[in-house]
A = this chain, B = another copy of it.
């Protein structure tokens, strides 16, 4: 955020902002802290992570290929090239500095430049890679080293390519494809989505037919809508692809072709040396998007392309090379584990998206002043002419929720990884009892958290006023780059049906038998049982103090989720309504269930987290954050709590007043709290959110680097020439 080139000089005597400097304002804010920001940072991120930041960040900041100051001034073509250069340099550093997968993941986070080597580098593992469950019957024994490699992709570029190769290759294929891919000898992409087929994998058109006579698969795109589309890295970069295609094998009755569903194939695209396209491949970049300018999302038609038998990834499913006889994989449910894992990552990522948005908005609103406020606090002994924007209650109501939502996502993300681990271990032992709950919650949370986080970026951007619209602010481009999260990995609206199915099923089971066997730790069962035993339950809160009990919110959010499920289930099972006519109800059920999970995990941390219990100052501030999260969320969704009769209008009033009081409580802690997330300026890349508060000079430096400022333009409407010549600058003032 400090562009090197300056075309226009600012007169030295005019280079200081008026009034109390931003740096001083933030200093005052930080002095108000009721806790140690450093302690909270350590609590949130852990020592290992902080040491890693200390080691990795300076490397990035000093690497010319990773200089962020010019990026917003580049054309798409130049951005793509900068991205490619970044990918290459990062790949070199991995070896040069012997970076681990976690180091790499952190570097990608700080850089924040999703680029040519992988659209999917945001889906990664902060602590441990996913562990593919091995079917005991079907598994060839792999060496230990491989097991490590199979988890390596997590923090990596090309992750879906490597991931699929690692998870779906047999031993021979690992050597043939995975090893060279890992060493950057081949560059790959993962080609699933088609022009006319997004969410519905079963609907893919691309066909792969096995031909025993030539021992080859023939791949064909049957139409324009079969064109592979949106594929990250396919446009200009990849020379290989894992292509998902409808497998057809000639082992039906009388040797007829049988459709076997979508399976992965390794398809070479370009000559690795000359980079020329191989025959039958029509490939292109799909053009500019709202964000992701560095990534060459690509399109591809395959026309009569033949690949050898070995290119069908055969770790789980198999096609006999001689006869073409198909052997299906053992347990389809295994893949749900990976999905859960990816979604846990999305929730963990949402936490940082929320924190980053809040950091920028809260710091800038502490520096920015607008309008006089009679009640505004005195600064350095003087009454300021204008008040800090952060003092406005309405501003607090817009930008404090993202801050406390970040903490909510923090605890739930942690819990999701724990459940993922537990479930993977259980599944490896043949125990699938946790799967449904873990899968449903992860679907609902993916939906809720991506919608919440994207909304928060934009709300924080607006709260920055006009300057939020400039790319110097760092939020507008961040929003554009984050948006795909709402759509991919299960569209966040359609995905809620997974939650609906699970809640209906669980409710039906428990309605029939309250002692139906389920995994011991199942909060969904708990709240449904509570509801079934007392559907007319009412909240007992009478005083503001009653809202200090975390249990109040666990009960309330549980009751609401169960109430919505019961209401929709009645329509489904008694009124026999169509599934489609319940989609809105189901969406609301999913939101309610997911908010319950967020509230539950946050509340549990407040009550039982040992690190927190041993640090009173942290416990105090986390408790305030929890209370704001719980009351704000409940107030935002008040209609459903009122409609079920669970709370009265009077209790709603109590709740709303409590939200307002908590905003005021949190006000002096807002800057120290965002500091605690420890997001470095290099990552924020924002003139508004700078740690030092020197906002206005940074905005001006950004403008000074705009290339347009090099040129004088011709505005005479009778002349078509657009340029006059170079800008000559300006001298010191004088008379007109």
Contact = CB atoms under 8 A, between A and B. Distances in A.
B583 A392 contact: yes
A190 to B, nearest CB: 15
Contacts of A462: 486-487, 493
A85 B199 CA distance: 43
A700 B194 CA distance: 12
A578 interface: yes
Interface stretch (A15-23, A101-109, A146-154, A172-180): A15-23
A645 B229 CA distance: 52
Question: Which of the listed residues A278, A286, A660, A712 has the most CB atoms from chain B within 10 Å of its own CB?
Answer: A286
A275 to B, nearest CB: 5
Nearest to A74: B75
A660 to B, nearest CB: 6
A540 interface: no
A638 interface: yes
Nearest to A713: B236
A683 interface: no
A722 B80 CA distance: 10
Question: Which of the listed residues A8, A221, A488 has the most CB atoms from chain B within 10 Å of its own CB?
Answer: A8
A493 B398 contact: yes
A711 B462 CA distance: 39
Question: Which of the listed residues A216, A279, A385 has the most CB atoms from chain B within 10 Å of its own CB?
Answer: A279
Nearest to A237: B715
A727 to B, nearest CB: 8
Contacts of A596: none
Nearest to A664: B581
Interface residues of A, number: 170
A307 B582 CA distance: 69
Contact of A198 (B81, B465, B704): B465
Interface string A625-660: 000000000000011001111000100110000001
A715 B89 CA distance: 11
Interface string A707-736: 111011111111110101001111111111
A91 B731 CA distance: 33
Contacts of A167: none
Contact of A638 (B221, B305, B371, B639): B639
A172 B715 CA distance: 26
A702 B285 CA distance: 10
Contacts of A493: 394-395, 398, 462-463
B200 A386 contact: yes
A732 B304 contact: yes
Contacts of A296: 708
Question: Which of the listed residues A484, A697, A700, A719 has the most CB atoms from chain B within 10 Å of its own CB?
Answer: A700
A370 interface: yes
Interface stretch (A322-330, A468-476, A530-538, A554-562): A468-476
Contacts of A639: 638-639, 642, 652
Contact of A476 (B235, B289, B699): B289
Contact of A660 (B18, B469, B486, B581): B581
Contacts of A572: none
Contact of A203 (B386, B709, B713): B386
A466 interface: yes
A724 B730 CA distance: 43
A597 interface: no
Interface in A444-490: 458, 462-463, 465-466, 468-472, 476-477, 480, 483-484, 486-488
Interface in A502-532: none
B713 A84 contact: yes
B277 A729 contact: yes
A303 to B, nearest CB: 4
B14 A303 contact: yes
Given A587-B394, A639-B652, A735-B216, A239 B715 contact: yes
A733 B304 contact: yes
B712 A286 contact: no
Question: Which of the listed residues A222, A487, A717 has the most CB atoms from chain B within 10 Å of its own CB?
Answer: A717
Interface in A660-704: 660, 664, 696-697, 699-700, 702-704
A469 B491 CA distance: 13
Nearest to A635: B639
A319 interface: no
Nearest to A270: B712
A270 B196 CA distance: 54
Contacts of A18: 196, 205, 222-226
Contacts of A302: 733
A155 interface: no
Contacts of A17: 195-196, 223-225
A183 to B, nearest CB: 9
B488 A466 contact: yes
A268 interface: yes
Contact of A75 (B75, B196, B645, B712): B75
A489 B46 CA distance: 46
A-B CB proximity, top 5 nearest: A280-B733, A304-B733, A75-B75, A290-B476, A638-B639
16 contacts: A8-B283, A88-B715, A200-B371, A203-B370, A236-B713, A275-B712, A277-B729, A280-B730, A281-B730, A287-B472, A375-B580, A462-B487, A465-B487, A466-B487, A584-B660, A643-B649
Given A73-B287, A287-B705, A469-B483, 12 more contacts: A17-B195, A17-B224, A18-B223, A18-B226, A74-B75, A92-B717, A280-B730, A280-B733, A305-B733, A307-B736, A395-B493, A476-B480
